[in-house]
Structure 1
Amino acid sequence: MNRRMSGVKIITISGAHSGVGKTTLAEMLLKKLKKWSALKVTVSHTGFCPKGKPCGACDDLKAKFCIVSDEKIITEAGKDTARFKASGAEKALWLRAKPEGLKEGIRKVIPRFRGAKGILIEGTSVLKYLDPDLAIFVKRKDSILKPSAKSALKKMDLIIDL
């Protein structure tokens, strides 16, 4: 999706792996980006958990994708979306998708942010289908890149080494 087609500014935060600091960076930015909204993108994996420990995000996804907007889930303590809201995101949504449903899920979720000044998107795989205004990548000196991160590196405008 071309950024001009979305009608809003888009910043993506991608990372080398889970736990590298993507959400912490998103919180810092959202505190400064007034009237911006946020989207968490989770691509489900079958047979293994990229976090190293099962978190349930991949377990019950029956359709190709699911857009979570239920405030009870979005604001649940400990969830990245709750952290987005607490940091000032006007609206926060969570796109859960199987790899084959990600493109369609992105196409369906972006219009839900109509009227937002911009969208901060946390997710690495989205870069296959989005051309953001700014693409940020978070890694550590000792990071071992997950497969989606390796291909995403080519699209980065800014790489932050924590």
Structure 2
Amino acid sequence: MAIVVVGGHSRNIGKTAVAAGLIAHLPQYHWTAFKVTQYGHGFCTANGEPCDCQTDDHTLAFSEERSTTSGTDTARFLAAGAERSIWVRTRVGMLAEAMPRIRKEIAAAEDVIIESNSILQFLKPDLYLTVLDPGTADFKDSARLFLDRADAVLINTAGHSLVPRWSGVSLRLIEGKPQFEITPPDYMTHEVADFVERRLHEVQTGQMRFRGET
């Protein structure tokens, strides 16, 4: 099983497009895709604006996408070729409550791709990619917390300056890590897909070798 996590420091910087792009570029993996959203007090935790993340029971919810044309992020995963696509919504600080169900769904899957930063509190993926947009000043605490764990950095250039607008974030945390430039509308390149495929092959080959040792 391959487990890939795609995170990033803010909304609307290409995280969903990156995950969908990997699903489309690597169809040999039989992806179950997850999008994890945390909400609080009726407002989106990403930028404080009203959204439809909050669940009716104000605790957590799992929604499996059935349509490829509904316009949701999870529909984009299905349209890209995912075998299943699940939206997990939890109140801020309650992701742990959703982990038993998430782990059960992961155990039933062949390969998994998750759009989230906070999932890294509870799960060690084979590969963690973080998307950074220098033109977006907002920087989530969860992205800051796990920045040094990124296996590669995808920089959304989008035609603007590469000088970051965010502050209080040390770029030393990503020094020496593989970095790739991505641009809309695809937010995906063959170089990124090849890197992910190669790294997953290395991880899986290493796991098989370890299991075969006596």
**After TM superposition, is the score higher than 0.5?**
yes
> For residues 47-126 of structure 1, what are the structure 2 equivalents within 5 Å?
48-49=43-44, 50-58=46-54, 60-69=55-64, 71=66, 75=68, 77-126=70-119
Give the count of matched residue pairs: 152
Pairwise CA distance, 1:15: 0.7
* TM-score for the superposition, normalised by structure 2: 0.64
C-alpha distance after superposition, 1:84-129 (max 9, x if no partner): 0000000111111113320231231232244433100001111111
Which of 25, 33, 41 in structure 2 is aligned with 1:38?
Answer: 33
2:94 aligned counterpart, secondary structure: helix
Larger deviation, residues 16-25 vs 114-123: 114-123
C-alpha distance after superposition, 1:47-83 (max 9, x if no partner): 542245322112x3425321112636xx562210000
Contact 1:127 1:155 in 2 (8 A): no
1:100 aligned counterpart, secondary structure: coil
Q: Which has the higher contact order (CA 8 A, sep 6+)?
A: 1
Find the aligned partners of 2:72 and 2:110 in 1 and give their Cα distance.
Answer: 23
Find the aligned partners of 2:105 and 2:145 in 1 and give their Cα distance.
Answer: 28
Contact 1:67 1:109 in 2 (8 A): no
The answer for unaligned runs of 5 or more in structure 2 is: 157-214
**Equivalent residue for 1:3?**
none
Q: Which has the larger radius of gyration?
A: 2
Residues 87 and 70 of structure 1, relative CA distance in 2, 3 Å threshold: closer
Residues 89 and 140 of structure 1, relative CA distance in 2, 3 Å threshold: same
Find the aligned partners of 1:103 and 1:76 in 2 and give their Cα distance.
Answer: 31
Larger deviation, residues 88-97 vs 110-119: 110-119
Letter in 2 for 1:106: M
Corresponding position: 1:137 with 2:133: no
Residue identity (%): 32
Residues 150 and 44 of structure 1, relative CA distance in 2, 3 Å threshold: same
Find the aligned partners of 1:76 and 1:98 in 2 and give their Cα distance.
Answer: 27
Find the aligned partners of 1:161 and 1:29 in 2 and give their Cα distance.
Answer: 16
**Equivalent residue for 1:159?**
153
1:44 aligned counterpart, secondary structure: strand
**Equivalent residue for 1:12?**
5
